[in-house]
């Protein structure tokens, strides 16, 4: 039965909801965010089965772009569109946009699984459907946090947003295991697994979710939406092509088109910022960045995502390319087991996230978020100190602590960001926060891959040449293989292929003595060959992750005391600062002022608590 609707003189009709509604909102939005983020990573482990299913060799030079876009397209789309869908949620209703997102996501999950084409056409179909599936995922991500912030009282938002945030981050790692389990059974199941949850979530959301927040009717900011999308797409596309080979270069950062895409993206985003200061109803109020908790939280979240995002790829390659083969696993088995051996990281998230979210409601976000980033940085130092052929109990303990550190940070940080927003800007504010997080995932892949490729390019060619010729491979063939871009070696490891067998090919292998061919394609040669060059690249990548986490911790430390933007009086209501200073909670209701208007007393923009 649909809830009653209360019509007030001060604004649009808002539904009356019972005390249990907040838990309905939490459970449904957590399901939505979970399946959206699971689908960010579910392909990584299942890619070999998917490409075999459509008859494409992803390691052929002409197919590298197909491989990258199948991985990255979903991430790019969700990064680009969450702000626009968050603004539309503020204007037309957050649950309406969220419900539509569930439906869109489900439809294109079905269409991904019914691919009938083979070869390049099949790959292009999958990429196109992933883009459209990402549209649904963006609608879910953009509005879930705003729905929760509307549904929960300020004192319980940390717990609610913490559970939601942890589900989202954990979904990225759970997707690895699900993809590894389903891919070998039937690659179509990788996409179909989301369908029953999508159908259930769509119906459940339509029947039970209500718009309990403030709407701000306005005309769409078309130029703002267009310039933001074009600028961000250009930047993320440039990053995607930057890690692909260009001419005789191992990477594409010197490619004129990549440089043009990166520079053009920056210019268009600057134009977007100018437009947002001129239009009557901007897509995003830049004045929100005057709120210190919002700005510091988003900066910290961006840097934390940079440190965390590439870690997943680095650890997968480390496990699949080196550690698992050296411990008795065939290359074909390594994708699934890499996901399983990374489970301590997910456990750490699941343990620390809800606890830190609950605790931040009582004591503030700063201590937990800053401490979490310091712990995460320490775990990167510990990973850097491990030998390439490590003892797994130590590796598992470090991953667990890393997950705890990231969980300690993620929940309080997101709650502090959402608490700092005016009620009528929660959708677009949540969209900006999610854009920072998702764009950082793409950027981190570009950074970590570039650092790894740079490390491998310096020492891998010589190691390949000497190692192959020592086993009887003709010098010309060995040099030809050594001259291939290192990204091919990384992708071979990531996809669970036998790297040397793939690189040499059957013609060269057939000319070698059987014992030599068996050794080259066995579980010892490639891991030993790549361990030294990989360790060089790994050290540089971890240095970057350490720096990103420490700067994120500093940004979090500077966020100011605990306070809430009072959604009853339109003020930045400070409940209890982290220095222990008490403040009374408001109990009267007045309408919120429009963003960009006169700054209310005690607001961060006016120099009150939390002001920059």
Cβ atoms of 102 and 198 closer than 8 Å: yes
Q: Where are the alpha helices (DSSP H) in 420-562?
A: 426-470, 475-482, 486-495, 499-510, 514-520, 525-557
pLDDT at 591: 37
**Averaged pLDDT score across all residues of the chain:** 79
Alpha-carbon span 174 to 186, nearest angstrom: 18
For 333-387, what is each residue's pLDDT tens digit? 787 788 889 889 888 888 888 888 888 878 878 888 899 999 999 999 999 889 8
By three-state DSSP, how is residue 440 classified?
A: helix
SS (H, E, C) 348-381: HHHHHHHHHHHHHHHHCCHHHHHHHHHHHHHHHH
By three-state DSSP, how is residue 152 classified?
A: coil
Alpha-carbon span 252 to 243, nearest angstrom: 6
Alpha-carbon span 121 to 582, nearest angstrom: 63
For 37-56, what is each residue's pLDDT tens digit? 888 778 877 888 888 888 88
pLDDT at 65: 77
Architecture of the domain spanning 21-218+281-455+535-557? Up-down Bundle (1.20)
Residue 332 has pLDDT above 80, yes or no: no
Radius of gyration of the chain (CA): 25
Supply the pTM of this predicted model: 0.76
Place of tokens 């697994």: 193
Confidence of residue 127 (pLDDT cuts 50, 70, 90): very high
* Structural domain spans, the chain: 21-218+281-455+535-557, 219-280, 456-534
Alpha-carbon span 541 to 451, nearest angstrom: 6
pLDDT at 125: 94
Cβ atoms of 439 and 309 closer than 8 Å: no
For 188-241, what is each residue's pLDDT tens digit? 999 999 899 889 999 998 888 887 766 666 677 788 888 888 888 898 888 878
The percentage of the chain sitting over the pLDDT mark of 90, rounded to a whole number, equals 14
For 68-119, what is each residue's pLDDT tens digit? 788 888 888 888 888 888 878 878 888 888 999 999 999 999 999 888 888 8
């Amino acid at each position: 039965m649909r809830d009653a609707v209360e019509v007030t003189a001060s604004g649009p009709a808002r539904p009356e909801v019972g005390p249990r509604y907040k838990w309905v909102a939490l459970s449904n939005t957590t399901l939505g965010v979970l399946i959206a983020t699971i689908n960010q990573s579910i392909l990584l482990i299942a890619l070999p089965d998917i490409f075999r299913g459509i008859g494409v060799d992803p390691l052929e030079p002409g197919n590298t772009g197909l491989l990258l876009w199948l991985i990255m397209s979903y991430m790019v789309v969700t990064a680009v569109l969450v702000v626009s869908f968050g603004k539309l949620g503020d204007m037309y209703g957050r649950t309406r946009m969220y419900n539509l997102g569930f439906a869109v996501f489900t439809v294109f999950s079905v269409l991904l699984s019914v691919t009938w084409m083979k070869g390049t056409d099949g790959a292009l179909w999958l990429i196109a459907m992933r883009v459209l599936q990402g549209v649904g995922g963006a609608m879910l991500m953009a509005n879930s946090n705003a729905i929760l912030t509307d549904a929960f009282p300020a004192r319980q938002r940390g717990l609610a947003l913490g559970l939601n945030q942890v589900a989202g981050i954990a979904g990225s790692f759970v997707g690895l295991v699900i993809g590894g389990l389903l891919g070998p059974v039937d690659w179509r199941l990788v996409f179909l697994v989301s369908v029953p949850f999508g159908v259930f979530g769509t119906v459940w959301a339509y029947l039970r979710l209500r718009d309990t927040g403030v709407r701000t009717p306005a005309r769409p900011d078309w130029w703002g939406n267009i310039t933001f999308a074009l600028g961000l797409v250009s930047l993320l596309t440039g990053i995607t092509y930057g890690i692909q080979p260009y001419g005789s270069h191992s990477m594409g950062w010197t490619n004129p088109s990549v440089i043009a895409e990166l520079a053009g993206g920056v210019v268009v985003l600057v134009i977007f910022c100018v437009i947002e200061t001129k239009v009557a109803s901007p897509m995003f109020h830049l004045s929100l960045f005057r709120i210190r908790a919002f700005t510091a939280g988003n900066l910290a979240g961006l840097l934390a995502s940079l440190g965390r995002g590439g870690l997943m790829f680095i650890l997968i390659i480390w496990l699949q390319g080196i550690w698992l083969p050296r411990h008795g696993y065939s290359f074909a088995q390594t994708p699934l087991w890499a996901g399983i051996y990374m489970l301590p990281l997910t456990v750490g998230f699941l343990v620390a996230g809800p606890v830190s979210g609950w605790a931040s409601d009582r004591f503030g976000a700063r201590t937990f978020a800053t401490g979490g980033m310091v712990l995460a940085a320490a775990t990167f130092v510990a990973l850097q100190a491990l030998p390439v052929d490590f003892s797994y109990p130590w590796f598992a303990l470090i991953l667990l602590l890393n997950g705890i550190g990231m969980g300690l940070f993620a929940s309080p940080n997101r709650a502090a960001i959402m608490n700092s927003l005016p009620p009528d800007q929660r959708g677009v504010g949540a969209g900006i926060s999610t854009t920072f997080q998702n764009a950082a995932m793409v950027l981190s892949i570009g950074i970590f891959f570039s650092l790894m490729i740079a490390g491998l390019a310096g020492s891998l060619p010589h190691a390949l040449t000497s190692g192959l010729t020592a086993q009887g491979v003709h010098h010309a063939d060995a040099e030809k293989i050594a001259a291939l871009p290192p990204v091919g070696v990384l992708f071979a490891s990531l996809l669970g292929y036998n790297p040397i067998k793939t690189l040499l090919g059957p013609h060269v292998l057939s000319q070698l003595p059987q014992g030599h061919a068996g050794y080259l394609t066995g579980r010892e040669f490639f891991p030993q060959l790549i361990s030294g060059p990989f360790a060089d690249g790994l050290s540089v990548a971890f240095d970057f992750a350490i720096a990103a986490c420490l700067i994120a911790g500093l940004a979090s430390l500077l966020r100011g005391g605990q306070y809430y933007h009072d959604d009853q009086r339109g003020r930045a209501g400070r409940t209890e600062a982290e220095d222990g200073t008490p403040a009374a909670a408001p109990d009267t209701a007045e309408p919120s002022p429009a963003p960009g208007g006169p700054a209310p007393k005690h607001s961060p923009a006016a120099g009150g608590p939390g002001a920059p």
